Amino acid sequence: MDKHEDRDAGKVRLSDPGELDDPWQDALASGWGELESAGAPAAPVPQARGAAQDGPGTPTESAADIYLEVQRSPAFQEVRRRYRRFVVPACVAFFVWYVAYVVAATAAPELMARPVAGSVNVAMVAGLGQFLSTFLLTWAYARHARLRRDRLALELRWETQELTRGVER
């Protein structure tokens, strides 16, 4: 059941971050500019990479160290920052908007019953607004994740798995 128990068994050493030059890095870096607002375009190279070639014989490193190393790498921090910078404001926004809606509907029904056009009142507009904002946020999140996060996350995934291979399991 627990595959982490023998994490000290393997032998993998992390390479120096400076000695990396493979075409994947270029492809990775050039993928960023897809959004206009994409701040620092070339994401820093993750430290944890390419060490597998060093193979056995080098000083031992456990899977725990590898995950810590990856967590501290600029590339991972960038993925995490991008995720949080979208999700935190979006969560606050929809949650406040929803709670405001429910509280207004229960505490101030007179306000909600004010007519807007024909039989449509404020409550109806607010309700449809909740549907609309949900659809809009869903679309925005999916787009943000696809353009800003997926590629870098996938790179990191393969790199981390490359490093932990032979250490775990």
Partner 1 sequence: MSGDHQTLALVLFSVFVAVTLAITTWASRKRHGTAEEFYAGGRLFTPMENGFAIAGDYMSAASFLGIAGLIALYGYDGLLYSVGFLVAWLVVLFLVAELVRNCGRFTLADVVAARMKERPVRIAAGTSSVTVSVLYLVAQMVGAGSLVALLLGGTSGAAQNWTVVGVGALMVVYVSLGGMRATTWIQIVKAVLLMGGAIALTVLVLLRFHGDFNQLLSTAAERSGHGERFLGPGLKYGGSWTARLDFISLGLALVLGTAGLPHILSRFYTVPTARAARRSVVWSIGLIGGFYLMTVVLGFGAAAIVGSEEVRRSNPAGNTAVSLLSLDLGGGADSTGGTILFAIVAAVAFATILAVVAGITLASSASVAHDLYASLRSRRKPVKPRSEVAVARVAAVGIGAVAIALGLLARDLNVAFLVGLAFAVAASANLPVLLYSLFWRGFTTCGAVWSVYGGLVPALALVVLSPVVSGSPESIFPGVDFQLFPLQNPGLVSIPLGFLAGWIGTLTSKESPDEAKHAETEVRSLTGAGAV
Binding site for partner 1 (CB under 8 A): 1-2, 4, 63-65, 67-68, 70-71, 76, 79-80, 83, 87, 90-91, 94-95, 98-99, 101-103, 105-107, 109, 112-113, 115, 117-121, 123-124, 127, 130-131, 134-135, 137-139, 141-142, 145, 150, 153-154, 156-157, 160-161, 164, 168
Pairs from 106-110 (Cβ < 8 Å, separation ≥ 24): none
Q: How far is the CB of 49 from partner 1 (least distance, A)?
A: 13
CB of 29 to partner 1, least distance (A): 17
CB of 91 to partner 1, least distance (A): 6
Considering the complex, state which of residue 24 and residue 135 has its C-beta at the smaller distance from partner 1. 135
Q: What contacts 99, CB < 8 A, 6 or more positions away?
A: none
First to last CA, the chain: 11
Measure the CA–CA gap between 117 and 122, rounded to whole angstroms: 9
> Among residues 29 and 123, whose Cβ is nearest to partner 1?
123
Shorter beta-carbon distance to partner 1: residue 57 or 106: 106
As measured in angstroms, the least distance from the Cβ of 122 to partner 1 is: 8
Q: Choose between 30 and 71: whose C-beta lies nearer to partner 1.
A: 71
Closer to partner 1 by CB, 17 or 67: give it: 67
The identity of residue 10, as a single letter, is: G
Shortest CB 12 distance to partner 1, Å:
14
